[in-house]
Structure 1
Amino acid sequence: MAGVVEIIFITILALILIILFVTIIIIYNNLIRLRNNIDKSWANIDVLLKQRSNEIPNLINTVKGYMKHEKQTLESLTKARSMILETEKLSRKAAVDNLITDLLKTVFAVAEDYPDLKAVENFLKLQQRITGLENELADRREFYNDSVTIYNIRIESIPDLIVAKMIHLKSVDLFKATAEDKKYIQVNF
């Protein structure tokens, strides 16, 4: 009788260990999948930032002959473009991205005062292309921040917290500019 109890005990213990092991593997795989979603969504944002940056010189070349009084805005846009291509830090990139978005809005708003410019087909195409990229960027930023939020909640919740600590996963920052980064990229008009 004692032998049967030992076998049952060992079997139950083995099943518990197997269930625990499988649970850890499932949690690990889910956390890695979430982390990969963040990396992928950041890569998508980065691609769009580069595409938008590639359009800025074309826009500046198209408008500079018409917007002679807006030279400071165009120079600021050129500087901001260089900064976003050189910056690696996420929060700083977000701050520069916000600046570029604001500068592009300024250029497009000022362009309304130049009827000859509004008639240039190349300008209209660039405006549509950049506006489309801005809309895509907004969508991708939202998806990135959603992915980060889901990931951060999971690694801070039990039982995922235990596995996250075992494999040294850390929380990820949202795509937003810090006050320090905003100050760093401030461009005077």
Structure 2
Amino acid sequence: MVIWIVLAVVVLLLLWVIATYNGFVKLAVNCDEAFSTMDVYLKKRFDLIPNLVETVKGYAAHESETLKAVTAARSAVGNSSTTAEKLENENILSGTLRSLFAVAESYPDLKANANFIELMEQLKAVENDIANSRKYYNAVVKKFNVKCRVFPSAIIARMFGYEAKPMFEVSSEAERENVKVDFGTSK
């Protein structure tokens, strides 16, 4: 009788380990999918930036420091090797884009340029998509991180090498402000 009880406990424990492990696998896949979704929108912005820089360059050539900062931040994003590094560099890129928008404010001819207006509309749409995908990514990562930290699933997380994933967070007060992409071009 005791053997059956011990065997039942072992089977139940084994089933719990399997279910918990499978839960981690599903959440990890969801995190990867959420990051990939966000990454698609970040790539769209990444590809849009050279066109934006070139358009601004034609009107504001003496603002080369700002243009160089945007280009350098874009390169840093492209050279990121880890998720955490990419998220940090994306925050820096967002900050340099703010500087570029501030420069553009000083040039009425630039703000009236049809190419610039179209690029800004595209950027506005991409920024909205990025914001939504960041929310989704952070929600999925939150679920994963909670499961990694609560008892008893934290034991399984450690056994199988699951660690908390980085949230997409802004790193400074300046970056907490909205990116201004509307230059009064709407009619």
Name the TM-score class by shorter chain: 0.7 to 0.9
Instruction: Check the 8 A contact 2:70/2:100 in 1, yes or no.
Output: no
How many angstroms apart in 2 are the aligned matches of 1:58 and 1:13? 68
| Structure 1 runs not aligned, ≥5 long | 1-5, 180-189
1:65–1:101 CA distance, 2 compared to 1 (3 A) = same
Structure 2 partner of 1:119: 112
Q: Give me the CA root mean square deviation.
A: 2.2
Q: 1:10: how far off?
A: 4.5
Structure 2 partner of 1:79: 72
Task: Tell me the number of residue pairs that the alignment of Structure 1 and Structure 2 aligns.
Answer: 172
TM-score, scaled to structure 1: 0.79
SS at match of 2:94: helix
1:148 aligns with 2:141: yes
How many angstroms apart in 2 are the aligned matches of 1:165 and 1:100? 34
How many angstroms apart in 1 are the aligned matches of 2:12 and 2:86? 44
Instruction: Check the 8 A contact 1:91/1:177 in 2, yes or no.
Output: no
Q: 1:141: how far off?
A: 2.3
How many angstroms apart in 2 are the aligned matches of 1:29 and 1:154? 12
1:27 aligns with 2:11: no
User: What per-residue deviation string (whole Å, max 9, x for no partner) do you get for residues 119-170 of structure 1?
Assistant: 2221111111112222222222232223222212212212212222222222
Q: 1:112: how far off?
A: 2.5
Instruction: Check the 8 A contact 1:148/1:173 in 2, yes or no.
Output: yes
How many angstroms apart in 2 are the aligned matches of 1:172 and 1:121? 42
User: What per-residue deviation string (whole Å, max 9, x for no partner) do you get for residues 55-88 of structure 1?
Assistant: 1111112121111232211111111111110111
Structure 2 partner of 1:18: 11
How many angstroms apart in 2 are the aligned matches of 1:44 and 1:60? 25
SS at match of 1:68: coil
Structure 2 partner of 1:129: 122
- One of 72, 81, 91 as aligned partner of 1:88: 81
Which protein shows a greater Rg? 1
SS at match of 1:64: helix
TM-score, scaled to structure 2: 0.80
| Structure 2 runs not aligned, ≥5 long | 173-187
Structure 1 partner of 2:43: 50
Q: Which is worse superposed, 45-54 or 73-82?
A: 45-54
Q: 1:25: how far off?
A: 1.8
How many angstroms apart in 2 are the aligned matches of 1:56 and 1:121? 16
Structure 2 partner of 1:59: 52
